[in-house]
Structure 1
Amino acid sequence: MAGESVTLTLDAVHSLSVEVLTVNGMASDHAHAIAKVITAGQRDECDSHGLYRLIVCVRTLREGKVVPDAQPVIEDISAAATRVDAKFGYSQLAFEMGKVSLCEKARQLGVSVLAINNCFHFSALWPEVEAIAEEGLVGLALTPSHSWVAPAGGTRPVFGTNPIAFAWPRSGSHPFVFDFATSAIARGDIELHRRSGAKIPLGWALDGDGNPTEDAEKAINGTMLTFGGHKGSALSAMIELLGGALIGDMLSMESQRFDGGVGATPCHGELILAFDPKMLGGGNAELGQQRAEEMFGAITGQGARLPSQRRFDARERSIRNGVVVPVPLYQDVLKLLER
């Protein structure tokens, strides 16, 4: 069984995701919004953000943590700011609803901000910023999670994996996108190593006694580390403040306490910003794009690749050929259909 896989079409991934979620009590509008980002993760070969995420989503549903039919409430805070109260549902539907106001306000004022509160967030952030870039806007998103990560020089968790993502629109090409955790690696990647019995690299995590470890099981039960030492630690603290304290929502330590040991999807807030190059460029938006393209060319012209290029290459393969899913994971997902 080890090493065996199945190939699924993207439509099949989406349909399976919707079915798993609705069988377990998720409302249809939420299920389709969540399935969209799960399919995107599997399509782009971001395995830790694809079908694997259904396992934690279903656990969250079955433990009664998430409100499966929550109806997000949109509030106009100001001419530049919008808030969406997700009402303790998943974040994807709240973002879809709030994105319209976010983009409209960015075009009117040059910059706008969307605060999503009381949401369960499990996915990568690039789906949000790519959606903003599709509107011709520059996007920035960040969010806390559960307190799994120690600050630089420490051994006890304070921060979440605390991802940050950015997208710059490009004419006739995929946007320039980066999306990374401020931890050394995403939590899901350690979990995938644990599931496969593979070692993790030193520098990802500490065991329960605060010692460096290559054992994924000990890492899951220990403490993750930030990337880049004090630099990643400072960025992680910034994300706690902007994505939590600033918008009146939980920090990662509070989200962990709220979970109560269930192992559900983290619950907290999310901060998303949009910038309009046409307005902020002072009439020189085309020149700004030319400057950006010159920089991108200087990067790729020496053999380096742009962030997310691997993901975009994977996207094209998956659209042509479907996605490859390990049999053990596929079987675990199918078991979620059993009640």
Structure 2
Amino acid sequence: MASLTLDEIYQLAYQSLCQAGADDANASAVATTVTHAERDGSASHGLFRIPGYLKSLLSGKVNGKADPQPEQVTPAILRCHGDHGYAPLALQRSVPALAEAAKTYGIAALTLTHSHHFAALWPEVEALAEHDLMGFSCVSYKPVVAPAGGNEAIFGTNPIAFAWPRPGRSPLVYDMATAAMAQGEVQIAARDGHSVPLGTGLGPDGELTTDPQEILKGVLLPFGGHKGSAIAMMVELMAGPLVGESLSFETAERDNVDGGPPQGGQFLLAVSPQILGGENWSQQAEGLFTRLEAMEGVRLPGQRRHNLRENQGNREVNDSLLAEIRQLAPQA
């Protein structure tokens, strides 16, 4: 493991993206997202993602000079064509307009299409919570998850993210795959030689296994059996037909398999508790959080991430990952 400062992590991500063909705006947006993931302890969405970003730039699949512009379809509906670039810049430009619409009308939605999402979902919903809005988002991927009762992949890991504002305090935020484990975490376990919990996935023989290498050859499973499977299907519909984009299996059919993220859709919803719930919304929610925190062994979602954020010290990064990044972008 190598020890890097947060600025070194940003510079490595930024410079490698620029060398692979991204312009300043796109490289800066992606590098910021990657650095925030490392800062907050989400290694599976930090520098770990950079090789995939670079490969998709080098292959020409992704437009490194994308110029996404949000469009106001109705007063409460926004749409952003990603210009075949990475999602962070499109989100950076669209989320403020989404927040403004929700604060004006009480509820607003954003659809993101023709974009490549490879990052965690929490940054965009947390940004909404910082505007005192409830945020929800979901995105699909290529099929790696079998439906309950099946052994053939049809769903993506299909994450959902939710944020609840807490004025004067860090918001409550969670970001979770509807798979039993996010694919990135399985890949890191395979790289580092760790086993995963039974129920994470099936090997190519269709049998349960704790070996992440075998699961990567087979399929992941949804969390909670049929319940997680139903939520994964909901995400397929919300991040696909609802926003005018492809389903996971359709996404796979058009992807060039360069190791980077495929083109897909994202759905974001912003709601004002002040407008919908009235003056007491915050106090009522805090009553729930107080009871939860009083229980031994219970912590609110996102607490660990916000605690880690306070530490601005160095982060440990896998040596082989750094070598792969420098092989793809030697001058970074």
Q: Is 1:324 the equivalent of 2:320?
A: no
Q: How many residues align?
A: 330
Aligned equivalents of 2:66, 2:202: Cα separation in 1: 37
Matched ranges for 1:277-288 at <5 A: 277-282=273-278, 284=279, 287-288=280-281
Aligned positions of 1:1-339 closer than 5 A: 5-282=1-278, 284=279, 287-303=280-296, 304-317=298-311, 319=312, 321-338=313-330
Cα pair 2:139 2:158 within 8 Å, conserved: yes
**RMSD between superposed Cα atoms in Å:** 1.3
Contact 2:61 2:256 in 1 (8 A): no
Counting aligned pairs with the same residue, the percent is 40
Q: Which digits, 9 at most, give the CA deviation of each residue in 1:198-253, with x for residues without a partner?
A: 22222111112211122222211211110000010000000111111111101111
Contact 1:52-1:333 within 8 A present in 2 as well: no
C-alpha distance in 2, partners of 1:74/1:174?
28
SS in 2 for 1:98: helix
- Provide runs of 4+ in structure 1 moved above 6 Å: none
Q: Distance in 1 between matches of 2:102 and 2:232?
A: 26
TM-score by length of structure 2 reads 0.96
Task: Check the 8 A contact 1:149/1:156 in 2, yes or no.
Answer: yes
Contact 2:102 2:270 in 1 (8 A): yes
Query: Equivalents in 2 of 1:200, 1:100: separation in Å?
Result: 39
Structure 1's 262 and 337: CA in aligned 2 closer, same or farther, altered over 3 A? closer
Specify every segment of 5 or more residues in structure 1 that has no aligned partner in the other structure, as ranges: none
Write the letter of the residue equivalent to 2:316.
V
Distance in 1 (alpha carbons) for counterparts of 2:138 and 2:127: 15
Kept after mapping to 1: 8 A contact 2:236/2:248:
yes
Partner of 1:118: helix, strand, or coil? strand
What residue identity is the alignment partner of 2:303? Q
Tell me the distance in 1 between the aligned counterparts of 2:211 and 2:294.
Answer: 39
Structure 2, unaligned runs of 5 or more: none
Rounded to whole Å, the distance in 2 between the matches of 1:167 and 1:100 is 16
Return the TM-score normalized by structure 1: 0.94
Distance 2:52 2:18 in 1: 14
Task: Report if aligned partners of 1:70, 1:87 keep a CA contact under 8 Å in 2.
Answer: yes
